[in-house]
Structure 1
Amino acid sequence: MTAMYLPKGAGRYDATVHTQGPWHPEQQHLGPVTGLLVHELARTAPRPGLALTKLAVDVFAPVPVAEVEVRTDVARDGKRVQCLSASLLAGGRELVRATAWRIREGETPATGAAPPPAPVPPAQPRESASWLASGFGYGRAMDWRFVAGDPQHTGPATVWGRSTVPLVEGEEMTPLERLAVFADSGNGVSYALDFDSYLFVNVDLSISLFRPPQGEWICLDAATTIGPAGCGLTRTTLYDRSGEVGQATQTLFVAPRPGREADSAG
């Protein structure tokens, strides 16, 4: 299979193994799901001069590695701002809902943004050997390049990434789709608890951009904080090769993995 999704027409797609997430082999990673939502939103009421600047994604239930459908609509259509909505369904059930804002592009005085933390480094054996690139389809479909942190140890991390397979078969990925596919990896690369002992699943993803991303490489500078009552928060600064483009946040549901409750209490 050469893409994350195989189009079937009318907003319907077959998900391939490249969408597979780390928590269950039959459930998708939210990265490809977010990319697919962006793909369909780009086709909804497009208007020259409006750029997507905010995307908020809420997850109601895990998305199966199976046929999915995306439905989109215009929630508000104005001259200077436009609000779109999107829903992803499987088996007739809404599993993910997104809201997107487009803002009219115009010439404004830029206040400056942070440069990239570091250039894209050469591939290293430790990345290809880590759990990110070996145990599940999405992990294998991405090219991971760490410049800070370690994919085999907990803690903050800075990592460049790009998809090595197309999002939709027969179509070239846009830079915005590439960012959407990778932005949900913030909690994965900066995981704060042992992966084998705990779940830290995000229930949402919020992306805010002050300029459109460019190119195929996206950098995540991510840190995760776990609270004392089963919740966590990941905050990620997003970069392309020219510098910072925006921020992403994820709210995390945190719990011991099934069968690990006794171990965590000890």
Structure 2
Amino acid sequence: MTARAAHFVQTSTDTFLPTSNARSRWGPDHLNGPALVGLAARTIEDQFGLEEFMPARLTVDLFKAARGVSTTVRARLVRDGRRVRNSECELVQDGAVVAKATLVQYRRSSAPPGEEWSAIMELPTPPDVDETSPLRVGSDDAGWSPKIADHRNSSRKRFLNRAIDVVEGVRNTPLVNAAYSAEGTSLVTNLGTAGIGYINGDLTVALARLPVDEWIYLQADSHWTSDGISVGAATLYDRVGAFGTGLITAVSNPQAQIDFSDDTPVAESI
């Protein structure tokens, strides 16, 4: 049986060693955002998640470029309330914090009376899904394909993602899969005719519910830029419908522009 791909190998209770799957294209020996976001989400949920509470908001601040070295996780429960639980996690490399995550959980309950407004939007899906390929990119101008290079245009972007495991030998939870996929908000909002020249410094993913399976879609909702700063938002959806929102802020980094001219598959992107 072929071993499942993973971003990290756990070497002790709170220490993880990145694999080649965690590498980023932003620079030599850099780690990619989904790997870091996934590890933070897994850690904080594993230590402080409760079945009766919904993980409603995860925010991850990416302080500095993480490298392919041993990574230690530190987590703590900030508040254990009756209806709200707050916890946080730090990812540490060589004594420096490279990322910090906060998770807000709300106790599940029944909805209040009345009807509310809800956005009505088209949520496109590819005509077929190849089970052997975990990712597909789509755009209004080019349809769906497995190559980012096909979508270097100025139209609206979306992608279909099935996350690989964050830690070797441990299947991702629905929260980890959602966080991993939501990190692609930077891709679907910042990808343009010359590739990507903005690098995101954070991710916030807000969830009304958890995804129903491993296949998660992400579609750009808004993208605003000025003075080298980018703000992007995207909708997460699955085969049932929309269930959350991803939000990122990013800063221009043209010296490390990724143009995707080599036709790199999505699975080996950023």
Please report the TM-score for the alignment, with normalisation by the length of structure 2: 0.80
Give CA-to-partner distance per residue, 1:60-112, whole Å, 9 cap, x none. Answer: 10111221111110111101100001101111110101111000011226856
Deviates more, 1:18-27 or 1:213-222: 18-27
Question: Structure 1 residue 6 and structure 2 residue 9: aligned?
Answer: yes
Aligned-pair CA distance for 1:188: 1.5
Which stretch has the larger CA shift, 220-229 or 62-71?
A: 220-229
Q: 1:50 aligned to 2:53?
A: yes
Structure 1 pair 27/195, CA: closer, same or farther in 2 (3 Å)?
farther
Tell me the equivalent position of 1:205: 203
Q: Given the superposition, is the C-alpha separation of residues 258 and 21 from structure 1 closer, same or farther in structure 2, using an over 3 Å criterion?
A: closer
Please show how residues 84-99 of structure 1 align to structure 2 within 5 Å: 84-99=87-102
**Aligned in 2, Cα 1:54/1:102: closer, same or farther, shift over 3 Å?**
same
Aligned residue in 1 for 2:249: 251
Q: Does residue 38 of structure 1 match 2:41?
A: yes
Q: Which runs of 5+ in 1 are unaligned?
A: 125-140, 260-266
Counterpart CA distance in 1 for 2:162 and 2:235 is 16
Work out which of the residue numbers 135, 138, 154 in structure 2 matches 1:143. 135
Superposed, 1:1-266 pairs within 5 Å as: 2-108=5-111, 117-122=123-128, 142-146=134-138, 148-150=140-142, 151=148, 152-155=151-154, 156-163=156-163, 165-195=164-194, 199-223=197-221, 225-257=223-255
SS of equivalent to 2:11? strand
Amino acid at match of 2:175: L
For 2:264, the equivalent position in structure 1 comes to: none
TM-score norm. by structure 1 comes to 0.81
The structural deviation recorded for 1:10 is 1.8
Identity rate of aligned residues, in percent?
A: 23
- Assess, with a 3 A threshold, how the Cα gap between structure 1 residues 115 and 178 changes in structure 2: closer, same or farther: farther
Aligned residue for 1:180, secondary structure, equals helix
DSSP 3-state at the match of 1:26: coil
Distance 2:34 2:208 in 1: 21
Structure 2 distance, partners of 1:123, 1:175, is 20
Give the number of aligned pairs.
242
The answer for unaligned runs of 5 or more in structure 2 is 143-147, 258-270
Quick one: structure 1 residues 106 and 116, their matched pair in 2 at CA, closer, same or farther if it must change by over 3 Å?
farther
Question: 1:79 aligns to what SS in structure 2?
Answer: coil
Cα distance in 1 for partners of 2:228, 2:49 equals: 41
In the superposition, relative to structure 1, how do residues 75 and 169 fare at CA in structure 2: closer, same or farther (>3 Å)? same
